[in-house]
């Protein structure tokens, strides 16, 4: 090898770039998961979990146990 090269061929460079991409993707997923764990209801629209609930879903358990 000449003195200025790193000693990596094309296949090793491709694998190295792929591993770096996977690590960046993993860090992004971890950050997203921690943000969801810290504040789980901030990203959820209110209408999807408060409106249009009926009976048992709203907590009316009068006749749930028969």
10-66 tens-digit pLDDT: 999 999 999 999 999 999 999 999 998 888 777 776 665 555 555 555 555 555 555
pLDDT, residue 8, reads: 80
pLDDT, residue 30, reads: 96
The rounded distance, in Å, linking the Cα atoms of 61 and 55 is 8
pLDDT, residue 41, reads: 79
pTM over 0.75, yes/no: no
pLDDT, residue 42, reads: 77
Query: Are 16 and 8 a contacting pair, CB within 8 Å?
Result: yes
The rounded distance, in Å, linking the Cα atoms of 8 and 17 is 12
The rounded distance, in Å, linking the Cα atoms of 65 and 49 is 24
pLDDT, residue 62, reads: 57
Q: Is 65 helix (H, G, I), strand (E, B) or coil?
A: coil
């Amino acid at each position: 090898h000449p003195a200025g090269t790193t000693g990596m061929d094309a296949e090793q460079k491709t694998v190295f770039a792929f591993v770096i991409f996977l690590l960046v993707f993993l860090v992004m997923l971890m950050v997203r998961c921690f943000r969801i764990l810290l504040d789980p209801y901030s990203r959820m629209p209110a209408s999807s979990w408060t409106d249009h609930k009926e009976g048992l879903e709203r907590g009316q358990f009068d006749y749930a146990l028969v």
